[in-house]
Structure 1
Amino acid sequence: MEKQLNKIQSKYYTVLNDSYVYEYFSVLANNMYSYNELLHIVALYKLTICYRIDEIQMIQLKVRYNDLTPLLFINNISIDKSSEIYLRVKEGRPMARKLQWDVSKTTNNYTSYSKCKGSHKHSVALIDSGIDVTHADLKSNLLYYENFVPKYGFKGKEDDEIGEPFYMEDKLDHGTQVAGQICANGNITSIAPNTGLKVYRVFGGKSADNIWILKAIIEASKNSSDVINLSLGDYILSHNNTEIKAYKKAIQYARSKGCVIVGALGNDGINIDDKDNFLEHIKNKKRERNDYIDSKSLALDLPAQQNNVIGVASANKSNRLSSYSNKSDIYIDVLSYGGDNELLKEYGYDMWIKNEWVKDEWILTTSSKFGHTYSVGNSIAAGKVSAAIAAMNTYYDISQNPSLSEKIFFNNLNGVLKMTDILKDG
């Protein structure tokens, strides 16, 4: 027990300066016996549970460091300080006229519409920042929505979060933008404009707890979703085994329920295959957040880098990997049009706007703030992939069979995502 306590002390040195400081910890049990024992000890010592996911035997506690001591006697559990997660978003979204070069290219000038435009029988679960439920281009395809942000939000610091189950305000205008890539059907259209959409709100402000994401994955899996879209993520260090293992369990659970998982890679232009360089890029960011780093630490771009997650990166109009996208020869499974910043970087914002180059580089989509807006990023690219797989399931009448869906998808994929490739005859 002393050895385990020392291990936690070495990892959570920031807590030790004051043993009365309350922190958030994720606790994961390996089996139901250990989970029941965990819940018993937590109740016995009256520890505060902020969140729990029975399906993967996980809880989040708000406790002082010394309060963890009785948990160290339980076998087959892991404890780590909770880390936060971010949306895969690029900053700045200027307005421009409606021109969907990305949809035209992905659908071969809309010819794929004659084969399949998606259906409500096959849906995408969007785990994101909410959605404008009244948006004219989205509401006809909106099948379900639920809020997983608790009252007072991230670490109890968001007073405007009310915790109601169907509160959907998209304060970040991110979920609404990604939704437009999945199922817009009105003034603009998606690559599969009849696709059903189920929305799970896990962001109020810029940060979310991983456990909210995990809970949403479980509930989306139980709600008969074909695809779960995760246009979000963080760089998690390998010693944070609790949340890495929890993601693995949640993804396994989702696949057991018939879901394909799609994840966006980061937008930081990092080669995540170069482990030393990757770690160096994020050291300062992690230190600012008081995360423990040593020479054995390994950075992971999660959840996109997890097994059984389709990792998506953005392509530009010239079919090349977008300049901002994280790079990998291992973890990029598919490229999809998400726009680029090359002309913006070369000529500057004023020239870029004056010459309307935004319409050649960025992606027109739906917005909770402006109705429509231009955006860019791997989040946008991931939404297209999720819609494509749901539409493909409609076309081939695939029901809750992720292995078959992925086999057909990747066998037919030929370069950047094209609907006419994956919706082949016969």
Structure 2
Amino acid sequence: MKKKKKGMAIVASSILAISLSSFSLHASATTPTVSKNYLIAYNKSLPADYQSIIKKAGGEVLRAIPEISGLEVRSSNPAFLEQLKSDTTISAANIERAYKLDDEQQGQSNGQPVTLDPNASSYWDLQWDIKHLTNDGKSYGIETGGTKGSDNKVSHKAVVGIIDSGIDSGHPDLAANFIGGQNFVPAGGYYGGVPSESGNSSDVTDTNGHGTHVAGSIAGNGKIKGVGPDLGIRAYRIFDASGSAPTSPIVAAIIAAANDKVDVINMSIGGFDNLKYYSDGTRYSDLADVLLWKRAVEYAVKHNVTVVSAAGNESLNYADKKSLTDYLNANYGDSNLVFKGVTVETPGGIPGVITVSSSNKWSTTQLAFYSNYGNSFIDVAAPGGDNGPDYAATGDLMKRDFTYRALSTWPRYLANYFTTNANGYAYLHGTSMASPKVAGIAGLIKAEHPDYNPAQVKALIEKTALDYGKPGHDALYGDGEANAYTALTAK
């Protein structure tokens, strides 16, 4: 996924499958004056008269998030931020950043789609990642995340909130574990021009496929199996049909999930915020975005929710701060847009989040080629898949072997993804596919140990991770590759 500013064209990656790369920028002074969205983070609580304050400055409140003292505001006043500078109750205010899901471009030279038998009762033998995580299914004999009653209905012992593009709730592999959710997308989409968006708060239909794939890795229970096949899953839909989502609905979804008392949140999303950059010589910062991310995660953890996030897919060393800013300048900067400040990955770089890098099927010393890494950034790794060792050695698209990716659920009403011929299933790869494996493990730990707090859940995941890479904690795998079976059998 890429973080972007409204109205700016983005070139999608031709390599990563629905990947979560990102950036942050400001429209230049040559852009015609249009309405822009802003984020405002107040010092303490929202002032009682915040509506009139914003209106006086030329803005309209789109969303208030009182739990974290935040506002999302729209204004066509070019001097809107200047109007707020004298308000000492405001910690930070800036143009709001937005995220964008990428679709992998098939291109002209590709590996061959995987043929799946539509009449097969199970695709278990194709799930190398879940078989590995569960010790060939042995962990299911210890904990599945719930129990089935005489009526075959599942009583969920733990629930994972999936903040993503929605879920195909009627998918036969997911229906028994789906327990509702909330749609944060307004009518018409975030920036207009998406007439298919009704604004129905209960409509979590996945129009992209990303969220459904993530859900299957967590709690699939049919032809494919998830890490916890009886875990409850709740959808928090934050991407509109165009694949866009600003910061505000994402942090609002974190608050909603915590208030719904989910046990775990998975966010297979990520972006970069820069704390000092210049557009046409004027200084800007993404501090309000970072503050609201930090407060939202703190709110969730205080409400006993374990938060898990993808590390991102730019092959960057997060510990090398200069390289992050250089990456932004090389990929998204120009003579009018220059990044100079500290770059923060959100949410993976926010304290309190379990940040997950992507391992692969064929190596215990090399991460998947796209995965971000870095000491004090990566907590653990999990299988997110890649294109196999031949592609890793050559970069030849014809040598991509999609069976090295992660097989999971796909919306039945969407066109088949090009990696397979099967309706309702797809092979994808990315840290998006690694993060839900750890979220599923966290859910199983909560089902087995309902009294554990987020720190204890994280500690058990790290303690029982398989020590891949260099001995001990390292920049690629953190404390190792997380594993459901070792976590559930730890003494």
Q: Tell me the TM-score normalised to structure 1 length.
A: 0.89
| Structure 1 residue 321, shift from structure 2 partner | 1.2
Contact kept? 1:88, 1:267, Cα under 8 Å: no
Say whether 1:25 aligns with 2:71.
Answer: no
| Structure 1 residue 96, shift from structure 2 partner | 4.0
Residue 314 (structure 1) aligns with:
358
| Structure 1 residue 340, shift from structure 2 partner | 1.3
Against the structure 1 CA distance between its residues 17 and 334, is the aligned structure 2 distance closer, same or farther, given a 3 Å change threshold? same
Deviates more, 1:57-66 or 1:85-94: 85-94
Match of 2:141 among 114, 124, 136: 114
Say whether 1:244 aligns with 2:290.
Answer: yes
Say whether 1:365 aligns with 2:408.
Answer: yes
SS across alignment from 1:305: coil
Distance (Å, rounded) in 2 between the aligned partners of 1:16 and 1:80: 16
Distance (Å, rounded) in 2 between the aligned partners of 1:162 and 1:214: 21
Distance (Å, rounded) in 1 between the aligned partners of 2:222 and 2:160: 18
SS across alignment from 2:458: helix
Residue 214 (structure 1) aligns with:
251
SS across alignment from 1:192: coil
Residue 38 (structure 1) aligns with:
50
User: Superposed, which structure 2 residues align to 1:288-307 within 5 Å?
Assistant: 292-295=337-340, 297-307=341-351
| Structure 1 residue 57, shift from structure 2 partner | 1.3
Amino acid aligned to 1:158: V
Q: Deviations over 1:21-52 (max 9, x none)?
A: 321111110112x5335333124566311222
Match of 2:487 among 417, 422, 425: 422
Q: Deviations over 1:188-228 (max 9, x none)?
A: 10121111101000001222101010110000000011111
Say whether 1:49 aligns with 2:95.
Answer: no
Residue 97 (structure 2) aligns with:
83
Against the structure 1 CA distance between its residues 91 and 121, is the aligned structure 2 distance closer, same or farther, given a 3 Å change threshold? farther
Against the structure 1 CA distance between its residues 85 and 152, is the aligned structure 2 distance closer, same or farther, given a 3 Å change threshold? same
Contact kept? 2:188, 2:196, Cα under 8 Å: yes
Residue 410 (structure 1) aligns with:
462
Contact kept? 2:268, 2:432, Cα under 8 Å: yes
Distance (Å, rounded) in 2 between the aligned partners of 1:60 and 1:27: 7
Say whether 1:231 aligns with 2:268.
Answer: yes
Amino acid aligned to 1:232: I
Residue 211 (structure 2) aligns with:
175
Contact kept? 1:95, 1:372, Cα under 8 Å: no
Say whether 1:272 aligns with 2:318.
Answer: yes
Unaligned runs of 5+ in 2: 1-23, 117-122, 147-155, 276-284, 415-422, 467-479
Amino acid aligned to 2:140: Y
Amino acid aligned to 2:454: P
| Structure 1 residue 329, shift from structure 2 partner | 2.0
Residue 382 (structure 1) aligns with:
435
| Structure 1 residue 351, shift from structure 2 partner | 4.8
Distance (Å, rounded) in 2 between the aligned partners of 1:17 and 1:207: 24
Distance (Å, rounded) in 1 between the aligned partners of 2:438 and 2:94: 33
Contact kept? 1:261, 1:310, Cα under 8 Å: yes
Q: Deviations over 1:277-322 (max 9, x none)?
A: 221122244337x995343x12222111111111101101123311
Unaligned runs of 5+ in 1: 1-10
Contact kept? 2:42, 2:89, Cα under 8 Å: yes
Contact kept? 2:461, 2:482, Cα under 8 Å: no
Match of 2:169 among 113, 123, 133: 133
SS across alignment from 1:125: strand
Distance (Å, rounded) in 2 between the aligned partners of 1:18 and 1:332: 38
Amino acid aligned to 2:236: Y
Against the structure 1 CA distance between its residues 293 and 95, is the aligned structure 2 distance closer, same or farther, given a 3 Å change threshold? same
Contact kept? 1:88, 1:265, Cα under 8 Å: no
Contact kept? 1:16, 1:65, Cα under 8 Å: no
Identity of aligned residues (%): 28
SS across alignment from 1:137: coil
Contact kept? 1:151, 1:163, Cα under 8 Å: yes
Distance (Å, rounded) in 1 between the aligned partners of 2:329 and 2:28: 19
Against the structure 1 CA distance between its residues 19 and 65, is the aligned structure 2 distance closer, same or farther, given a 3 Å change threshold? farther
Distance (Å, rounded) in 2 between the aligned partners of 1:152 and 1:216: 19
Deviates more, 1:102-111 or 1:70-79: 70-79
Contact kept? 2:162, 2:235, Cα under 8 Å: yes
Q: CA RMSD in A?
A: 2.5
Higher helix share: 1
Amino acid aligned to 1:258: N
User: Superposed, which structure 2 residues align to 1:276-287 within 5 Å?
Assistant: 276-287=322-333
SS across alignment from 2:460: helix
The count of residues paired between Structure 1 and Structure 2 equals 407
Q: Deviations over 1:123-159 (max 9, x none)?
A: 1100000111110000100012210011121322322
Residue 299 (structure 2) aligns with:
253
Amino acid aligned to 2:264: V
Deviates more, 1:85-94 or 1:368-377: 85-94
Amino acid aligned to 1:177: H
Residue 3 (structure 1) aligns with:
none
Contact kept? 1:86, 1:234, Cα under 8 Å: no
Contact kept? 1:398, 1:405, Cα under 8 Å: no
Amino acid aligned to 1:80: N
SS across alignment from 1:73: coil
Contact kept? 2:25, 2:332, Cα under 8 Å: no
Distance (Å, rounded) in 2 between the aligned partners of 1:248 and 1:419: 28
Match of 2:448 among 395, 400, 412: 395
Amino acid aligned to 2:305: C
Deviates more, 1:312-321 or 1:35-44: 35-44
Contact kept? 2:264, 2:308, Cα under 8 Å: yes
Contact kept? 2:37, 2:96, Cα under 8 Å: yes
Against the structure 1 CA distance between its residues 252 and 18, is the aligned structure 2 distance closer, same or farther, given a 3 Å change threshold? same
Residue 343 (structure 1) aligns with:
390
